Amino acid sequence: MLTAIKDSRIDITSEKSTRELAENLISYIKGGEFVFLYGEMGVGKTTFVKYFINKVQTKERLDLTEVTSPTFNLLNEYNTKNFVIKHYDLFRIKNISEINDLDIFQKNNKIITFIEWPELLENNSKIKSIDLLFTYENELKNRTVHINGLN
């Protein structure tokens, strides 16, 4: 699956396939990346981030933490031995000044940044990112993700 991960559409209908995709993405992450998560509510964005974070914690022999949606507090941070993983959910942002206050685009090779609802960012096309586009298919019976921007 690792070679199929680049610029392809992947079925993530099962939670197991979502977990496997998140775990496989880890081999592409070196630190300093911005991962943009696009998709409707409930399509699996936060579940994907949970599996990614928990796999990093497992690899680093850390206790697994509960990973929840940062919808109401906008940001959840997870410290591991090698990284700070920042998980933003911008769904509730009402104006661009709120985003500026979050200091989202701090460039640091020890930070991995996941951003749900990145379409709310002004000029997000100027940011080099890995884009994951989560979608429902077959009248909401299936879910897929399309990945762009992996090197």
What is the C-alpha separation between 55 and 71, in angstroms, rounded?
22
Cβ within 8 Å of residue 64, ≥6 positions away: 54, 57, 58
| pLDDT (0 to 100) of residue 1 | 40
Q: What is the pLDDT along the chain (151 residues), one digit of tens a residue?
A: 434 555 578 889 999 999 999 999 999 999 999 999 999 999 999 999 999 999 999 999 999 999 999 988 899 999 999 999 999 999 988 777 777 778 888 889 999 999 999 988 876 667 789 999 999 988 778 999 999 988 6
* Residue 88 burial class via C-beta count within 10 angstroms: exposed 0-12, middle 13-18, buried 19 and up: buried
Task: Please report where in the chains the tokens 């884009």 appear, as a residue.
Answer: 131
| pLDDT (0 to 100) of residue 103 | 80
| pLDDT (0 to 100) of residue 3 | 42
| pLDDT (0 to 100) of residue 58 | 96
What is the C-alpha separation between 12 and 119, in angstroms, rounded?
22
| pLDDT (0 to 100) of residue 7 | 55
- φ and ψ of 26, to 5 deg: -55, -35
| pLDDT (0 to 100) of residue 6 | 57
